[in-house]
Amino acid sequence: MMIQTTALPLQGLLLLQPQVFTDERGYFFEVNRNSELKQLLGDIDFVQESQSGSCQHVLRGLHYQLDKPQAKLVRVLTGRIFDLVVDLRQQSATFGQWFGMELCSEKKQQLFIPAGFAHGFLTLSDYAEVAYKTDQYYDPASERSIKWDDPELAIQWPLQQAPILSAKDESAQSFATAGLF
């Protein structure tokens, strides 16, 4: 597995681009090779993989776990999303800053999000499936959400209409009152 990594503007955030082999039959690439990931990401063991499917204009997030923070490795299996993170680590040089980028199934990129970030995404295509590995198990008691449209964060989502939200995301807390790391 040959992975090209690109450091992104927030401390510890990485874009991983695998080497993809194509021919007249289609393509092949290694999604995960633990030895190479450990070289790139350090001693992280992904213990859970989850997947979601969302129709266009669905916005999920901004989610994180306070007591059991999760590092995540996110990739899009089908479609396109605008993926977004907010650095909640008070000791980080990029604390309180956000970064967003488009991820799509065609490019086969993966976004590594260190523990201590809130994460969310907006579905840009008619439908998108997103898979993400985490280094901590999902813990409902530890789960928190920050408002997607928090005025202090001033996130510039590429919205074409009002987003479709879950009840949980509609009632999320502000950045000013959020639990931080």
Catalytic residue among 57, 63, 119, 127: 63
Catalytic residue among 27, 57, 127, 132: 132
Gyration radius of the chain's alpha carbons: 16
**Contacts for 38-41 with beta carbons within 8 Å, 24 or more apart?**
40/3, 40/5, 40/14, 40/16, 40/112, 41/14, 41/71, 41/112
Residue 132 designated active-site: yes
- Report H helices in 93-180: 167-170
Q: Both tokens of residue 51?
A: 């997947």
- Write out the catalytic residue numbers: 63, 132
